[in-house]
Structure 1
């Protein structure tokens, strides 16, 4: 059985990625590449991984 993997993405040398939390009825985590139009992702904050989980 082959593993279900995704090919690594090519990363631009001059991209700039930022993250923020938008507070509201549902707190939302936003991560965006500010050097590219419409390159962002949002998800409920409770579903976002914490830094210790990424290690």
Structure 2
């Protein structure tokens, strides 16, 4: 049986959020089950949901 290289163990928790500051809005994706496992980009540059389909 082939395994899915994109599958995550059930104990991983990935979330996305907008982090707003006075200077900018950042879109953040993070694995909240692991320290330091996150990335961010300017919210205006983040792809929209229809673009992910």
- Asked if TM exceeds 0.5, the reply is yes
Q: 1:1-55, CA deviations, whole angstroms, 9 ceiling, x for partnerless residues?
A: xxxxxxx456333210011101122110011001111100011001111101101
In the alignment, the residues of structure 1 paired with residue 44 and residue 25 of structure 2 have an alpha-carbon distance, to the nearest angstrom, of: 8
Q: Give 4+ residue runs of structure 1 displaced > 2 Å after superposition.
A: 8-13
Q: CA RMSD in A?
A: 1.5
Q: What TM-score, normalized to structure 2?
A: 0.75
Q: Which runs of 5+ in 2 are unaligned?
A: none
